[in-house]
Amino acid sequence: MANPIFAPLRLLGRILKKTNLTFWILIALPIGIGIGAAWPKFGKQLKTFSDVFLHMIKCLVTPLIFSTLYVGIVGHEGDLKSVGRLAIKALVYFEVVSTFALAFGLIMGNIVKPGKGASIVGVSLAGFPTNGPITWQDYILDIFPTSFFQAASENKVLQVVFCAIMFSTAALKIPKENRDTMTEFLKNLADIMFKVTGYVMCFAPVGIVCITAYSVGTFGLKVLVSLGKLVLTCYATLLLFIFLVLVPILLISKVRLLPFLKCIHQPMILAFTTASSESALPIALRNLEAFGIPKSIVSFVLPTGYSFNLDGSTLYLSLAALFCAQASDVHLTASQQVVLMLTLMLSSKGIAAVPRASIIVLYAAVESFKIPKETVALILGADVFMDMARTCTNLTGNCVASVVIARWEGAYPPYGEFTGRWEGKDFRVNQSKEQSESIETSTQETAPNAQLTHPNSA
């Protein structure tokens, strides 16, 4: 007979077998916070391991974007007219939603006034990154790379997208039999990179423990007390934006909310815990494609949105700019706030998908409006906690954009059935008017997009 002493261990083993990656990511977050708060010096030393995880993720971005976008355009027999139409629709959507995000930040900043009572006495700019003001010429030039390999090595997502579109466009102009070899190669590359993504994600809980331990150990939880009003306002405003803007957009587009949330919840959690949009990009691409969005759309809209549709970052920038003005007793008139919104609308484009890149843009914005630059340094410590929320919102907004533009293109039916690979298993989603459910069907090993079928896919 089995020893009863080991019964609890066997029960624990059976429970753990039923867990998934999301469970371990959620467990990793409080563990990292606890380590950073209890042993801050040890938490700081874990930065190396957090960087290991982020480096592994970043090395997946370029081959995934290039291969999936090429296969989406050429492999599915796309044409130049459809690519141009998709780009115009995406840019229109991005600008409209980004304007809403900026307006939300300004409205909440004027209502709550999180900067009132904050003091910049004794705040130093020593060691603070003080890049010069960014001009519109810089944004234009940042779209076009001088070298594809430089863009790939620096993870310039928008430049990689530009190269992929140009390469795919040229491929469409040659006979099909001449491009078949390249198409097959890049299709296999995409399948392999999705498999590599699965391997890298096994390290995600460890990476998240190290990232959160380092952040809390470096900045401490006490900064949340001194700047708690700003942090709470930021989180509340981002939540209001999601529920009052993004959710109605999904409902108007007739997208079932629960299946969609189940599809994107894992990349959302990953974006929140790592404060890096790049870390969630590979898994978001895979899940959205499995959800039924054509590869030609998701592989174009999602990476492009990382430069043009940063809803969380734009909202945060307008809120933080008002905080800086209020903390330094600088009164901004309504017309000045409109100019500020337009300035941030331009300067928020092209923000790198890396942690705390918004600080540089904020610094340039307050400098333009003669606001003391020490106010930006004041919020630097709390920025790491707000960065988690705005990065998660960025990712959510781009996932919403992908499914909405797919609906706009008529490539994602509101009702019907499709199947795909998700979290290592085949699944089927039946979106009828009466019900929407996810049913696991089989666990046979196939490529992430090999089983993808829905009425409008190629």
Q: What is the DSSP string of 238-270?
A: HHHHIIIIIHHHHHHTT--HHHHHHHHHHHHHH
pLDDT at 457: 37
297 vs 283: CA distance, rounded Å: 16
pLDDT at 4: 62
CATH match of 19-118+135-142+149-409 with 1.20.1260.10: no
Strand order in the sheet with 425-431: 416-422, 425-431, 436-440
Point out which residues pair with 422 in neighbouring strands: 425
Query: Pairing relation of β-strands 416-422 and 436-440?
Result: unpaired
pLDDT at 107: 92
Burial status of residue 191 (CB atoms within 10 A of its CB: 0-12, 13-18, 19 or more): middle
pLDDT at 402: 92
Kindly report the pTM of this predicted structure: 0.75
178 vs 56: CA distance, rounded Å: 34
What is the crossing angle of helices 47-70 and 176-201, to 10°? 160
The secondary structure of 391-415 as a DSSP string is HHHHHHHHHHHHHHHHHHTT-S-SS
pLDDT at 12: 57
Q: Do 423 and 263 meet the contact criterion of CB atoms below 8 Å apart? A: no
Tens-place pLDDT, residues 264-306 = 998 998 889 888 877 888 889 888 988 888 888 888 888 888 7
Burial status of residue 87 (CB atoms within 10 A of its CB: 0-12, 13-18, 19 or more): middle
144 vs 148: CA distance, rounded Å: 9
Burial status of residue 362 (CB atoms within 10 A of its CB: 0-12, 13-18, 19 or more): buried
What parts of the chain have a pLDDT lower than 70?
A: 1-20, 75-79, 117-139, 223-224, 226, 347-357, 413-458
pLDDT at 48: 87
Point out which residues pair with 79 in neighbouring strands: none
Counts for the chain of helices (H) and strands (E), in that order: 21, 3
168 vs 241: CA distance, rounded Å: 36
Tens-place pLDDT, residues 78-128 = 567 777 888 889 889 998 999 999 999 999 999 988 887 665 544 555 545
